[in-house]
Amino acid sequence: MLGGHILSAIIGVSVNAFLPFEMALLGALAVSLSILVMHLTRTLHPPGGATALIAVIGGANITDMGYSFVGAPIGTGAVVLLLVALLLNNLSNNPKRQYPKYWL
């Protein structure tokens, strides 16, 4: 989940910053490239495609952030989401909800 969001954010910001195409093409390119990179790195997380799309179509507030978009809202949000999920899953008495079973 972390890798998918962070890689997708980097791709979305890069596509938006360096390619001079229309927004529709940039969005499609960012999403498709992020899915390809997530697949190749085995970090496939479907909402990561939306992260790349937001980096392109998010408006001036998002595009003006540049690569800080990767760390500030995306990286910290993904870490908080992961910590909450780990906490809630491991507080359960159900042994099938213990996550992760192993770390590597």
**pLDDT category of residue 104 using cuts at 50, 70 and 90:** low
The dihedrals phi and psi of 28, each to the nearest 5 degrees, come to -65, -40
Predicted TM-score (pTM) of this structure: 0.88
Mean pLDDT of the chain: 92
Please tell me the predicted confidence (pLDDT) of residue 76: 97
Q: How far is CA 62 from CA 9, 15, 37, 58, 69, in A?
A: 11, 14, 22, 5, 7
Question: What average pLDDT does range 78-92 have in this prediction?
Answer: 87
Q: Examine the pLDDT at 53 and tell me if it is beyond 80.
A: yes
pLDDT tens digits for range 7-39: 999 999 999 999 999 999 999 999 999 999 999
